Amino acid sequence: MTVCRKLPIHITYYSDVTLTSMFQGIIASCVQLCFAWRVKIITNNIWVVILIVSCAIVSMRKLTLLSSH
């Protein structure tokens, strides 16, 4: 005798707008981090690099968090 149970299946659906926002945040942060690396190589000024990196991280977190809701 086989017992058949219906288990709740939770499927998360991401729309195109959500995926687009997530990718925009990731790609923008990658570009900003590459720019920060170039600034470090050219100027060797760590404070400007820290400012650019922190802005890149905040930007990525903001866009990925907004797209996940």
pLDDT tens-place string over residues 7-45:
555 555 556 667 777 788 888 889 999 999 999 999 999
**Residue-level pLDDT at 25:** 81
Residue 49, pLDDT score: 94
For the segment 55-67, the average pLDDT, to the nearest whole number, is 75
* Alpha helices per DSSP H over the chain: 16-43, 46-67
For residue 58, the model assigns a pLDDT of 87
- Domain segments of the chain as ranges: 18-67
61 versus 9: which is more confidently predicted? 61
Q: 46-67 vs 16-43: helix axis angle to the nearest 10? A: 180
Q: Span 37-55, mean pLDDT? A: 93
Does the CA dihedral 41-43-46-48 come out positive or negative? negative
Tokens standing for 65?
């968090």
